[in-house]
Amino acid sequence: DQQVKQNSPSLSVQEGRISILNCDYTNSMFDYFLWYKKYPAEGPTFLISISSIKDKNEDGRFTVFLNKSAKHLSLHIVPSQPGDSAVYFCAASASGGTSYGKLTFGQGTILTVHP
Amino acid sequence: NAGVTQTPKFQVLKTGQSMTLQCAQDMNHNSMYWYRQDPGMGLRLIYYSASEGTTDKGEVPNGYNVSRLNKREFSLRLESAAPSQTSVYFCASTRIFGGAVETQYFGPGTRLLVL
């Protein structure tokens, strides 16, 4: 049972335009969500996160939106740059004493930004 | 700070051979994790250590063992490697305090090929 899903394996965007990456989850216990970016032959690097008490979090060109009722979150990158080309993973976690910070990851979306 | 380091970077094994993947962090984190990444599957948790002296199974623990050697180091052992264990292995660490979730930081990965 895939508790975190990224249904788009790939996304292609023109430089300067908006990139929108989507993620759905099924476990209602999840209350903390993260996006990681991964380049080939490197480990994932943290990009941005959001707690379930918020519906939006911004950091420069990156904004994450959370719709709790739909169990859906999205990452917006504006404007997109060629250096943003990477694999993006959505991850979710449940706070509380027994979760121990464990993350559940989606399958990833390959973003390609064309010059 | 080096962050999270992993050795080796790449390893080829024959079926039935054993090996240990090493991971160390210098961020004074109390929790550490081992994930594997397979194409189309995202990252899946193998084992984790919530604190020094404790370890527990994740989503895909079969065929693996772990040791939390001290606060800094967390190793993953394959006792008898199988081709199904061909994957990229990532170690991660974070600080867990009061049940709150914080960002996990990842190492660069170990690429393992089992023939």
Give the tokens for residue A5: 């899903």
pLDDT above 90 (res A2): no
pLDDT of residue B102: 78
Question: Contact B112/B18 with Cβ under 8 angstroms?
Answer: no
Mean pLDDT, chain A, rounded, equals 94
What is the Cα B111 distance to its own chain's centre? 12
What is the rounded distance in angstroms from the CA atom of residue A16 to the CA atom of residue A78? 7
Nearest Cβ partner of A43 from B44, B50, B109?
A: B109
Q: Would you call A27 an interface residue with chain B, using a CB distance cutoff of 8 Å?
A: no
Place of tokens 């397979």: B38
Is the pLDDT assigned to residue A7 strictly greater than 80?
A: yes
Q: If you average pLDDT over residues A19-30, what whole number do you get?
A: 96
pLDDT(A21) > 80: yes
The confidence score (pLDDT) of residue B106 equals 96
User: A103, A104, A105, A110: which to substitute to probe chain B, counting the most B Cβ within 10 Å?
Assistant: A103
Which segments of chain B have a pLDDT < 50?
none
Reduce the DSSP state of residue B71 to 3 states and report it.
coil
Please tell me the predicted confidence (pLDDT) of residue B99: 64
Instruction: State pLDDT tens for residues A51-100.
Output: 999 999 999 999 999 999 999 999 999 999 999 999 999 999 988 766 77
Is the model more confident about A101 or about A111?
A111
Q: How close does chain B come to A11, measured CA to CA in Å?
A: 15
- Provide CB contacts within 8 A for B112, sequence distance 6+: B10, B11, B12, B13, B19, B21, B78, B81, B85, B86, B87, B88, B89
pLDDT value of residue B95: 86
